[in-house]
Structure 1
Amino acid sequence: MKKKKWLLSFLIISLFVAGCTDQGEPVKVTKSMNRVVSDYILTYNKDLSEQVDQQFEAHKIYGARKKDNGIIEVYLYYLYEEFKRDKETEVDGGSVLACVKLKKVDDNYKVVGFKEAEDGSKSTDSIKEMFPKEYAEQATDINNQQAITKVLQKRIDKQVAKWREQ
């Protein structure tokens, strides 16, 4: 009887540990995956403000994991801004940590899920729930996030300058 209880306990614990440690297999994000992510972020935010002339985004990908079901989860931080041609500064925008879920369909990728981290006091907990541990640690490091924001802002500034020259 003791052997059966021990075996049953071992199986339950093993299943629980296996379920909790399924972080997925690391995946390299390709140019086509990156393009799909950018396009989705722009589309997702397009109605943030009314009557804007152009929208821009730049993002930092912390990493990506392929799950057993074939879905690729991309963990990232993005900066998004909207502009009107007659204004010098952005009309609206924001920066968010997010998880984009991609599925390969033929030779392309399709977004099948998107979740942004909560803001305020729930931010850190929601990031830890969404991101694997090593990416969550990077994403919640305020110094790292400030440095990344500066880099992303420079990318957007270049896009805006090019757009204004047209």
Structure 2
Amino acid sequence: MNKLISDYIILHYDGVYPKTDKQFEVHKIYGAKETGAVTSVYLYSLFLGFNEETKTEGQSGHSVPAVIKLKSEGGKYVISHYKEPRDGADFKRSLYKIFPRKYAGIALKDTENSAGLQKEMKQKAEMWLRK
């Protein structure tokens, strides 16, 4: 499921940021909620693009809480919906609208340090550069 989420977010942001040699996404999952055939996954995502010449220094990207809805189809999960809170002054209010209260406060605090995901992101970039 983690690979599905990362691949989806990378594809979702294709062409949004300036072109880079390689893009990675890492995330922290707060929890999930099943409603019928749909599973809502509440997470914090860090997305960065890298260039070989700048090594492990991210060139463009974002860090944001998000909710991804998954449906099981033919024994596999497919993503049916992706949503992030609004930017700016509306951020906190919209975060509490899309996240359960028990996760929203944690995600809000995690915006201060990208949910501690920088080390994992750097490791992915280092592994890519070794190839």
- Structure-2-length-normalised TM-score: 0.91
Q: Determine if the alignment matches structure 1 residue 41 to structure 2 residue 9.
A: yes
Regions of 4+ moved over 6 Å: none
What residue is the counterpart of 2:40 in the other structure? Answer: 73
Alpha-carbon separation, structure 2, partners of 1:165 and 1:78: 24
1:139-158 matches, cutoff 5 A: 139-140=107-108, 142=109, 144-147=110-113, 149=114, 151-158=116-123
Identity over aligned residues, as a percent? 34
1:79 counterpart letter in structure 2? L
Alpha-carbon separation, structure 1, partners of 2:78 and 2:89: 32
Structure 1 stretches lacking a partner, 5+ long: 1-32
What residue is the counterpart of 1:117 in the other structure? Answer: 85
What residue is the counterpart of 2:130 in the other structure? Answer: 165
CA RMSD of aligned residues (A): 1.5
- Structure-1-length-normalised TM-score: 0.73
Alpha-carbon separation, structure 1, partners of 2:76 and 2:100: 25
Higher relative contact order (CA 8 A, sep 6+): 2
Secondary structure in structure 2 of the residue aligned to 1:51: coil
| Cα-to-partner distance string for 1:13-41 (whole Å, 9 max, x where unaligned) | xxxxxxxxxxxxxxxxxxxx222111111
More helix by proportion, 1 or 2?
1
Alpha-carbon separation, structure 2, partners of 1:136 and 1:51: 32
Larger radius of gyration: 1
| Cα-to-partner distance string for 1:85-112 (whole Å, 9 max, x where unaligned) | 1124222111011110100011110000
Q: CA deviation at 1:49?
A: 2.8
Alpha-carbon separation, structure 1, partners of 2:84 and 2:50: 22
More strand by proportion, 1 or 2?
2
User: CA 1:45–1:126 in structure 2 vs 1: closer, same or farther (change >3 Å)?
Assistant: same
- For this pair of structures, how many residues does the alignment match? 130
Alpha-carbon separation, structure 1, partners of 2:93 and 2:123: 34
Q: CA deviation at 1:150?
A: 6.0
Q: Determine if the alignment matches structure 1 residue 90 to structure 2 residue 64.
A: no
